[in-house]
Structure 1
Amino acid sequence: MVLLGREITVLGAGIGGLTAALCFAARGAQVRVLEQSDAIREVGAGLQISPNGARVLAALGLSDALISRAVRSEAVVLRDYSDGEEVLRMPLGADPGFHLIHRADLIDMLAAAARTAGVAVELGRKVDQVVFSDSEAVSLRFADGTCEPVSMLVGADGLHSPVRRALDKPAQPFFTGQVAWRMVLPQTQFPEPCAQVFMGPGRHLVTYPLRGGTERNIVAVEERDRWTAEGWSHRDDPMRVARAFAGFPPRVRGWLESARDVHVWGLFRHEVAPVWHRGASVILGDAAHPTLPFLAQGANLAIEDAWVLASCMSDSADDAEAFARYQVMRQARTARAVAAANANAKAYHLPEGPVRTMAHIALRMLNRTSPTMPLRKFDWLYNTDVTAS
């Protein structure tokens, strides 16, 4: 095996970084993960693992762990904001299926598997800068002032990746005119195992169950002119989101009015990175292709990246060749997914008027005749199995 005994440093103990560490370790590499936090924790909310991501987790031996922690989704249900009535119900396949899971549970699952596989996780290692020498050797400059060379670096360090900054010219993201609130609410009854989207003029709300139905995940998106900073950690007044969705059905208003811990973030559009590798360094996940949350593919694309990168490196003793092949295999697909997510936002936010009316009539007709048709346009996304290539 080409990776047998190779020393690989992964920057970031998120979903992409831990999956990459598992993929490398499974191929015989000696892997360490550097995480800037003092603990592996994820304070986010829910996410959806679609079949393309689930196939990678299955290939890593994690199917049972995923099923035990997730709710398997049976459908995606589109609802009108005014009365909550069903507009379209799109049934989902059962194998490998769509899984609704708390981000923290997925991180815990991946971290446990990584440690079992012999991956070393070093906490409190904040990298400020990635430095290349004239010979393309790479070093990490840490926040404490120390500097350390690494033989191979994988940047899975997210939206503000110092690895990407070292590879590409700074890009200027732009505010989409949308903000998103996220929250997780406790529940006493198991709700319908599906993702529901309440669509309204200039706003929509997505909700689905987590943790055996004991919790409800909510992401609420509103169009606005005011700029809101990026990031997941901005707390907000729960009443602000409740007011923004005051015209939605009573059950939705009830959920929002019961919320106590709400976070808000501005949605920014970023370009897919033009350069993914240099010397002994390479990027994946949000560091390479940040995506808006309207197709639920951020985690899935990172999981795919991890498998493909490890496979390319296993197939070639030449890192430059392996990295170049990885970028070719991933760049067009991830760009297509990013574009599809961008388009979904507009479809959810149709204003009152004839266009919205006709669109909903068409969806209701599909609901009676061919409810799976809208999802089929994403067969290119969900039906892909990167582990088979």
Structure 2
Amino acid sequence: MKETAIVVGAGLGGMTAALSLAFHGFKEIRIYEKSTKILNPIGAGIGINGSTLCLDKMNLSHVWKNAGHAVHSTRITAGNDKPSGFDIKRLLKGTILEDHFLVAKRNHLMKELWAECEKNPKIKTKLGVKISEYKNTENGAEVTFADGTTDSADIVVSADGIHSLGRDFVDPDCPPPEHSGLCVFYCILENVDKEKFPDHSTIEIHLNMGMALLMRISETDAMIVVAHQASEKWNVKSQNWTFDVSPEIFHELMEDHDFYKEQDWIDEKMIKGVTNLSHLGIYQQPHVSNWFRGNVILIGDAAHATSPFMGQGANQAMIDGYYLGRCLQDCEDVPSGAGLFFKVLNNRNKENQNKLSKNFTKHAIRQLVKLSTRPKVAPIF
């Protein structure tokens, strides 16, 4: 029986999974989200590529077209070296990702997907609900809430992020997420200088003790990402996913590391005026042995966390969400569908994760473009 589903987590992956399950024949999907707000996610902006193709398949092209901003070129600078760059639009011409390589404000994409979930009669969402336990039942799977009540369905999709309770159930022997020794600031710069930051472009800045990335994410705004070495305050032993942050704290780090002196793109006035600021520890998720146990299935960071520097975790989670619905539709029972889902995506995500984690501070955009168009990593349609 494959008619009902519970999705734990209303992030980009969870909402895409709900929409895909509805599109591929499920009759009722219930999303449970621990946050009381949908539009309060971590991260300023994300890169979307393969996920746009998945939305196309569900007749939801307008979602990424409304939220996304195309990336056509990138410039790379490192100290006094001569700047280099490449034409992304030309490199993608004739590939499946032609005109499908974009960046977006995370909130804008969340808003578009949320609107689709809200108007879909098969999908119901409840906020402010925390899950305390997963288990399989004779007829499907069940979740227990913090207040002791339960709900059950034919399948439970765990889209609950890197510190996933669902992963602990599916693979109890999997080691916890590992701090990489690096941290990253995310923020948005509004009303950018259009001469300094050309539209549809990115700027990759290699620093002595880190890296910065600037991306135009709309007609008026840009995303700034700065990765840096962890310190005593933001250390490798910390289990924090996010740190307390303010523009002043960001400015102090830029000064302490001489990041202002190493480049001409980001200045003090700019940093002190940013919005949507987050400061994250960069974690890597050890590969889990499987993405499902019975009728409980993992997607997104719960299964394969990717360094947040390139904003690719959300893109991969959305691809997962789409393929889960498609694989379950193509198979007679849940174990077969979940097994196919794992088989189709596991090797791709391993390669993607390994490549990005090793290269996210070296020619990050070039690495991402190459990975996005490789047959072993790009989605199969």
- TM bucket (normalised to shorter chain) is 0.7 to 0.9
**Code of the aligned partner of 2:17:** A
- Alpha-carbon deviations, 1:286-338, whole Å to 9, x = none? 11100113454212211211222111110112111111111111111100000
Note if 1:224 corresponds to 2:223. Answer: no
- Give the Å deviation of 1:131: 3.0
- 1:3-14 alignment to 2 at 5 Å? 3=2, 6-14=3-11
Partner of 1:320: 335
Partner of 1:195: 202
Cα separation, partners in 2 of 1:375 and 1:20, compared to 1, 3 Å: closer
- 1:119-198 alignment to 2 at 5 Å? 119-132=123-136, 135=138, 137-169=140-172, 170-190=174-194, 191-192=197-198, 193-198=200-205
Q: Distance in 2 between matches of 1:374 and 1:282?
A: 27
Q: Distance in 2 between matches of 1:262 and 1:375?
A: 26
- Give the Å deviation of 1:159: 0.9
Secondary structure at the aligned position of 2:362 is classed as helix
Q: Distance in 1 between matches of 2:30 and 2:63?
A: 23
**Code of the aligned partner of 1:151:** D
Note if 1:207 corresponds to 2:214. Answer: yes
Cα separation, partners in 2 of 1:280 and 1:225, compared to 1, 3 Å: same
Q: Pick from 15, 27, 30: which aligns with 1:18?
A: 15
- Alpha-carbon deviations, 1:106-127, whole Å to 9, x = none? 1111111122222111111111
Partner of 1:46: 45
Q: Distance in 1 between matches of 2:367 and 2:175?
A: 37
**Code of the aligned partner of 1:186:** E
- Give the Å deviation of 1:230: 3.6
Q: Pick from 24, 27, 41: which aligns with 1:27?
A: 24
Q: State the TM-score, normalizing by the size of structure 1.
A: 0.84
* Comparing 334-343 and 93-102, the one that deviates more: 93-102
- Alpha-carbon deviations, 1:136-172, whole Å to 9, x = none? 8532121223233333101111111211111112413
* Comparing 338-347 and 282-291, the one that deviates more: 338-347
Partner of 1:357: none
Cα separation, partners in 2 of 1:231 and 1:376, compared to 1, 3 Å: closer
Partner of 1:337: 352
Q: Which runs of 5+ in 2 are unaligned?
A: none
Q: Distance in 2 between matches of 1:374 and 1:66?
A: 19
Q: Distance in 1 between matches of 2:378 and 2:148?
A: 44
Secondary structure at the aligned position of 1:105 is classed as helix
Q: Is the 8 A contact 2:6 2:152 kept in 1?
A: no
Q: Distance in 2 between matches of 1:221 and 1:297?
A: 15
Partner of 1:238: 250
Q: Pick from 270, 286, 301: which aligns with 2:316?
A: 301
- Give the Å deviation of 1:82: 4.7
- Give the Å deviation of 1:7: 0.8
Q: Distance in 2 between matches of 1:382 and 1:82?
A: 36
**Code of the aligned partner of 1:146:** T
- Give the Å deviation of 1:343: 1.5
How many equivalent residue pairs? 359
Q: Which runs of 5+ in 1 are unaligned?
A: 350-370
Aligned-pair Cα RMSD in Å: 2.7
Note if 1:61 corresponds to 2:55. Answer: no
Partner of 1:258: 273
Cα separation, partners in 2 of 1:179 and 1:10, compared to 1, 3 Å: same
Q: Pick from 370, 374, 380: which aligns with 1:380?
A: 374
Note if 1:281 corresponds to 2:281. Answer: no
Q: Is the 8 A contact 2:348 2:377 kept in 1?
A: no
* Comparing 145-154 and 229-238, the one that deviates more: 229-238
Cα separation, partners in 2 of 1:384 and 1:265, compared to 1, 3 Å: closer
* Comparing 322-331 and 166-175, the one that deviates more: 166-175
Q: Is the 8 A contact 1:238 1:259 kept in 2?
A: no
**Code of the aligned partner of 1:235:** V
Q: Pick from 90, 115, 118: which aligns with 2:118?
A: 115
Partner of 1:368: none
Q: Distance in 1 between matches of 2:54 and 2:107?
A: 19
* Comparing 233-242 and 33-42, the one that deviates more: 233-242
Q: Is the 8 A contact 1:26 1:117 kept in 2?
A: no
- Alpha-carbon deviations, 1:22-64, whole Å to 9, x = none? 11111231111111112312343011112x2211111122223
